Chains A and B, each alone.
Chain A
């Protein structure tokens, strides 16, 4: 099923939680809404589900106007950050809830409901917990039961609000992979909200980066990482080195030091140079456009992370770079740096 959101505006008092948001989600996609807290991503999700109402705009699910229907009529599966399992019901009854509250005319008989719940519990691999209460489950188990409960109503779309936010790192990692494989198995159009970029890049096949109620960029994980559309996206996704530079007539200067890079059409004036930590080419002193002294080096896994104090420019600038292990760095060594890949954005904010 497709989801279409047009010109959505939502204000809480004077604060605009969503400011003219447009979004299209294709059939079978697994899309991540990524942004810092307060960026409006959860509000957008709740509006699609019918748990919040926009001040203006349109929501269409499968071409049909969703704002004409309340949440209970939208057939949307919603998974809450804190699970929201019914605490007085067993796991089995939790999953069966959506089937039991159907209007009598379409309600399945008891045997069908039991079979369906069993099937769903098998799908989330927790059939052995059917008679437990939510308080007796671990966080990861609760989240999977919440997902099974949402899937019970055969939702047209599946919405997940920070699904792994309340879990510890290890469980979170497992559940991510599990969600991916589950999605490729059942293929329901899904949107999940997260503030964790790693989660978004790893799980989703489309990422929507949001900030301050606006969409900054929509693209594949590779897209938003390699070709960030705005300074915000570059800073938010992946670790970046940010240098305040001056662009003048196609040349770029850091303080009084000209950098040997093209301005790439960036407008003249105060700007910001964004470089990924691993996109700094390291050479012997005097070979690159930046120079600095290595302050100290930490090595782990395939990389060594070095803190470098840049010389030149006003004030002391210390940046962190990632170098491969085969180029051994020493504390106190003077090295030169040359950005391999970089982006320049106007420095208005």
Chain B
């Protein structure tokens, strides 16, 4: 490999200078190519560690990942199936388990749906308009990431709890937020808010407003512009954000645990049920539910990889056009 590169380097300039007509066109790219060849050769010299060291480093990385990521995942599935397949499915068919799955899906659907809307609006506002307090808004969007989920849940207890600000009013009007679906959904929305907005803001900022302006000058209405120009341009980023938002919404434990009240068969989501069952020594049932969440994680991972590729592909023509 290295002998090959050393051949290429002197040969390219020679070919370039051979014809003056070619010079202006081919010389920059040829020079870049030879630079790259040289860079590869140099970096190879610098980076090539002795074989044993390379082996140790790679082995360390792999064993670390095995112990901390692969092994737990295997254990989850092994424990779930430890009493056989029928026990596994029987555990999932329990009314409590079904109710938890139903609640989790419902909460995820609500929070993903609303955060899709909020996220697009927030990203739109930040990327396409200039206004006072924009930086503050960007910081605010990140807040749920920097606050412990337990605090996020506690905030809603303070607001809607019996001793909270609006507690007495809510009680008087017989509205249940805490220890019910609305509270769980609110806490989940709060915790998952940044995902969609965060994945869209850089994308929309980079794309600017020119395509929208072009659409409008061609006679398109605001809605037509959004659905025909803006949305297609951000769709992969949007899906990426939705995917991560969904994974977090289904897996959220801390914030939901605070506001749920753990009413069996009513306000337990899947992560909460896993903990309860585990504490009651129902290992098969506990790990059966856990295996569903683990499967969600695996699917998320695969889809995320695919989406990232799509995003990169979408990026390429953009870079070229500059």
Interface residues of chain A, those whose CB is within 8 Å of chain B, are 49-51, 70-78, 80, 82-88, 97-98, 101-102, 133-136, 142, 146, 149-150, 152-153
B318 interfacial contact with A, CB 8 Å: yes
By CB atoms of chain A within 10 A, which of B213, B224, B318 has the most?
Answer: B213
Residues in B whose Cβ lies below 8 Å from that of A86: 211, 214-215, 228-229, 232
Residues in A whose Cβ lies below 8 Å from that of B85: none
Contact call B218/A101, Cβ cutoff below 8 A: yes
- A74 to B218: give the CA distance in the assembly, Å: 9
For B233, give its contact among A50, A51, A87, A146 (CB under 8 Å): A87
| Given A74-B217, A86-B229, 20 other A-B residues pairs in contact with their CB atoms under 8 A | A51-B216, A72-B220, A75-B219, A77-B217, A80-B210, A80-B213, A82-B321, A85-B211, A86-B211, A86-B215, A87-B317, A87-B318, A97-B218, A98-B218, A98-B220, A101-B215, A101-B218, A101-B220, A135-B318, A153-B218
Contact call B219/A72, Cβ cutoff below 8 A: yes
B61 interfacial contact with A, CB 8 Å: no
Contact call B220/A135, Cβ cutoff below 8 A: no
By CB atoms of chain A within 10 A, which of B211, B213, B228, B321 has the most?
Answer: B321
Number of A-B residue pairs, CB cutoff 8 Å, is: 82
* Contacts A134-B317, A134-B321, A135-B317; A84 near B213 (Cβ below 8 A): yes
Residues in B whose Cβ lies below 8 Å from that of A102: 219
- A133 to B232: give the CA distance in the assembly, Å: 14
Residue of B at shortest CB range from A76?
Answer: B217
Binary interface profile of B, 303-322, with partner A (CB < 8 Å = 1, else 0)? 00000000000001110111
For B214, give its contact among A50, A70, A84 (CB under 8 Å): A84
B86 interfacial contact with A, CB 8 Å: no
By CB atoms of chain B within 10 A, which of A70, A101, A146 has the most?
Answer: A101
* Contacts A82-B210, A86-B211; A71 near B317 (Cβ below 8 A): no
Residues in A whose Cβ lies below 8 Å from that of B29: none
Contact call B216/A70, Cβ cutoff below 8 A: yes
Interface size class of B (residues with CB under 8 A): 20 to 34
Residues in B whose Cβ lies below 8 Å from that of A78: 213-214, 217
Contact call A71/B214, Cβ cutoff below 8 A: no
B221 interfacial contact with A, CB 8 Å: yes
Contact call B321/A135, Cβ cutoff below 8 A: yes
Interface residues of chain B, those whose CB is within 8 Å of chain A, are 210-211, 213-221, 224, 228-229, 232-233, 316-318, 320-322
* Contacts A97-B228, A101-B224, A101-B228; A88 near B217 (Cβ below 8 A): no
User: Closest Cβ of chain B: how far from A12's Cβ, in Å?
Assistant: 11
Residues in B whose Cβ lies below 8 Å from that of A84: 210-211, 213-214
* Contacts A82-B321, A101-B224; A153 near B210 (Cβ below 8 A): no
For B218, give its contact among A134, A136, A149 (CB under 8 Å): A149
User: Closest Cβ of chain A: how far from B317's Cβ, in Å?
Assistant: 3
Residues in B whose Cβ lies below 8 Å from that of A149: 214, 218
* Contacts A80-B214, A84-B213, A135-B320; A72 near B221 (Cβ below 8 A): yes
Lowest 7 CB-CB distances: which A-B pairs, in order? A135-B317, A98-B218, A84-B210, A101-B220, A84-B214, A78-B217, A88-B232
- A78 to B25: give the CA distance in the assembly, Å: 32
Residue of A at shortest CB range from B210?
Answer: A84
Contact call B217/A50, Cβ cutoff below 8 A: yes
* Contacts A86-B229, A135-B317; A71 near B216 (Cβ below 8 A): yes
* Contacts A88-B233, A133-B317, A135-B321; A98 near B219 (Cβ below 8 A): yes
Residue of A at shortest CB range from B232?
Answer: A88
- A83 to B322: give the CA distance in the assembly, Å: 10
Residues in A whose Cβ lies below 8 Å from that of B213: 51, 71, 78, 80, 84
- A84 to B220: give the CA distance in the assembly, Å: 15
Residues in B whose Cβ lies below 8 Å from that of A49: 217
20 contacts between A and B (CB under 8 A): A51-B216, A71-B213, A72-B221, A73-B219, A75-B219, A77-B217, A78-B214, A87-B321, A88-B233, A97-B228, A98-B219, A101-B215, A101-B220, A101-B228, A134-B317, A135-B317, A135-B318, A136-B317, A149-B214, A150-B217
Residues in A whose Cβ lies below 8 Å from that of B229: 86
- A70 to B213: give the CA distance in the assembly, Å: 11
Residues in A whose Cβ lies below 8 Å from that of B320: 135
Residue of A at shortest CB range from B207?
Answer: A87
Residues in B whose Cβ lies below 8 Å from that of A142: 321
- A149 to B210: give the CA distance in the assembly, Å: 14
- A77 to B218: give the CA distance in the assembly, Å: 7
User: Closest Cβ of chain A: how far from B144's Cβ, in Å?
Assistant: 31
- A51 to B211: give the CA distance in the assembly, Å: 12
- A83 to B317: give the CA distance in the assembly, Å: 13
Residue of A at shortest CB range from B221?
Answer: A72
Residues in B whose Cβ lies below 8 Å from that of A83: 321
Residues in A whose Cβ lies below 8 Å from that of B221: 72, 101
- A83 to B211: give the CA distance in the assembly, Å: 9
User: Closest Cβ of chain B: how far from A166's Cβ, in Å?
Assistant: 9
- A80 to B211: give the CA distance in the assembly, Å: 9
By CB atoms of chain A within 10 A, which of B215, B316, B320 has the most?
Answer: B215
User: Closest Cβ of chain A: how far from B217's Cβ, in Å?
Assistant: 4
* Contacts A82-B210, A86-B229, A88-B233; A72 near B216 (Cβ below 8 A): yes
- A87 to B224: give the CA distance in the assembly, Å: 16
- A133 to B318: give the CA distance in the assembly, Å: 12
Contact call B219/A101, Cβ cutoff below 8 A: yes
User: Closest Cβ of chain B: how far from A132's Cβ, in Å?
Assistant: 11
User: Closest Cβ of chain A: how far from B220's Cβ, in Å?
Assistant: 4
Residue of B at shortest CB range from A73?
Answer: B219
Contact call B321/A51, Cβ cutoff below 8 A: no
By CB atoms of chain A within 10 A, which of B210, B316, B322 has the most?
Answer: B210
User: Closest Cβ of chain A: how far from B203's Cβ, in Å?
Assistant: 12
User: Closest Cβ of chain A: how far from B215's Cβ, in Å?
Assistant: 7
- A74 to B217: give the CA distance in the assembly, Å: 8
